[in-house]
Amino acid sequence: MKNVKHAQCTRCGRTVPAVPDLTACPCGGIFDIIYDYAYIKTALTKDVLARRQERSMWRCREFLPVEEDTVLPPLRVGWSPLYEAGELAKELGLRQLWVKDDGLNPTASLKDRASAMAVAKAREAGARVIACSSTGNAASSLAGNAAAAGLETYIFVPSRAPKGKVAQLMTFGATVVSVQGSYEDTFALSRAAISRWGWYNRNAAINPYLSEGKKTVSLEIMEQLGWVVPDYIAVSVGDGCTIAGVWKGLKDLYAVGFISRLPRLISAQAEGCCPLNRAVEAGEPWRPMEENTLADSIAVGVPRNADKALSAIRESGGLTVNVSDAEIMAAQKLLGRTCGVFGEPAGVAATAGVKKLAEQGKLPHDASVVSIVTGNGLKDVANAIAACGEPITIPGSMDRLLDAFAARGIAP
């Protein structure tokens, strides 16, 4: 890889070659991939990029840690739409708001960006089997992207994972183990199984390439905005791999001069499970928390990318915001009604956070904000119905329709 120098541990600073099956550092820290920005500058300009036909996460391969001859996995991941959300901005009293709908990825979450990267690296490593533990979306995205690439998957999910995600896993032909316990228990079992059978490891705690895949969301946002930097980018946070990736992508663009300043991050967590935000707010190391929220994808009591996530939030001068389940459900409805975007609970947590910060006066009125929707609402219809209500249910009769409308004050 001409564009990559090496990997460096984010905790102890040790540097090692960026081999495809790189795992965590012996010190326990996660590696970061270090690029040769001088080379990237010569290889890619904004004009060259603007003329590219490729509309996927692989659009800027110069920024990605894959060999030139690597056969990329077939599903079309990335280049999701960035919608200007004028109506929602007005309701929240913000100057400009955009919604990046990453629920439109092939398995319907932002995790596809990491899983496609994992599949590419597994192929480079010559692996035939990939495994991971996940709150749900990492699992379904890995199963789908691996199936398309002809690789076998072993997946560990906590038994609370919503049915939609489990249905995806079964459809993609994964071997699925539903663990009766917390995400922490699930993770521990997957780790033991992976070391026993030597599978390629797609766990966020271990694999440094996942946040490199996820960073493509930032590369896209900035290109879609014509390189005009927003004041804030809001992300929902569980393990912390996503927000770390978002920050990495921005720093890459800054390093090659594609953008001239960096946005501030907004880290949105659930009130019932916010170990990373609590650490930032208290200026202390993070401590484990209960996993007490309906937003299953961010119910992570022991975050696996804490180091990278905390430095991303702190370096960016970021804001933290913790949202209740009721606020998450309200945001689901608000985003649906004003934007036509259907997010799962964790998927809309960032938008719930933006709304809360705006209402608390913590965002200036002239602020421009991008809110990333990280997962699709169809994955968890039970919570969507709970948030947004049941339809009018009547027999097929005009009289009953008139009665029902009258009773609800609906005047077509």
Ligand X SMILES: *Cc1c(COP(=O)(O)O)cnc(C)c1O
**What is the contact surface with ligand X in residues (CB under 6 A)?**
109, 111, 137, 204, 236-243, 297-298, 300, 344, 346-347, 374-375
Work out what residue 22 binds among Zn ion, ligand X, none; the CB cut-off runs from 5 to 8 Å by kind.
none
Beta carbon of residue 185, minimum distance to ligand X (angstroms, whole number): 17
Work out what residue 236 binds among Zn ion, ligand X, none; the CB cut-off runs from 5 to 8 Å by kind.
ligand X
Work out what residue 12 binds among Zn ion, ligand X, none; the CB cut-off runs from 5 to 8 Å by kind.
Zn ion
Instruction: Count CA within 13 A, CB hemisphere, residue 52.
Output: 19
Work out what residue 263 binds among Zn ion, ligand X, none; the CB cut-off runs from 5 to 8 Å by kind.
none
The helix/strand count (H/E) of the chain reads as 16, 13
Work out what residue 9 binds among ligand X, Zn ion, none; the CB cut-off runs from 5 to 8 Å by kind.
Zn ion
Residue whose CB is less far from ligand X, 109 or 145: 109
Residue whose CB is less far from ligand X, 32 or 62: 32
Specify whether the CB–CB gap between 120 and 58 falls below 8 A.
no
**Kind of pairing between the strands at 82-84 and 4-9:** unpaired
Q: Which residue is nearest to ligand X (CB)?
A: 375
Q: What gap in Å lies between CA 18 and CA 5, rounded to an integer?
A: 8
Beta carbon of residue 185, minimum distance to Zn ion (angstroms, whole number): 26
Bridge partners, residue 130, by sequence: 153, 200
Binding mask 4-43 for Zn ion (x = CB under 5 A): -----x-xx-x----------x-x-x--------------
Specify whether the CB–CB gap between 73 and 64 falls below 8 A.
no
Residue whose CB is less far from Zn ion, 33 or 369: 33
In terms of residues, how long is the chain? 412
Question: Which residues 6+ apart lie within 8 Å of 67 measured at CB?
Answer: 1, 124
Beta carbon of residue 7, minimum distance to Zn ion (angstroms, whole number): 10
Residue whose CB is less far from ligand X, 305 or 368: 305
Work out what residue 371 binds among Zn ion, ligand X, none; the CB cut-off runs from 5 to 8 Å by kind.
none
Residue whose CB is less far from ligand X, 101 or 239: 239
Residue whose CB is less far from Zn ion, 32 or 239: 32
Q: What gap in Å lies between CA 135 and CA 16, rounded to an integer?
A: 30
Residue whose CB is less far from ligand X, 62 or 325: 325
Q: How far is CA 168 from the centre of its chain?
A: 18
Work out what residue 266 binds among ligand X, Zn ion, none; the CB cut-off runs from 5 to 8 Å by kind.
none
> What tokens were used for 383?
């919570």
Amino acid code (one letter) for 132: C
Closest CA to 220 of 104, 321, 319, 141: 104
Give, for 124, the enclosing helix (H) or strand (E). Answer: helix 111-124
Chain residues in the site for Zn ion (CB under 5 A)? 9, 11-12, 14, 25, 27, 29
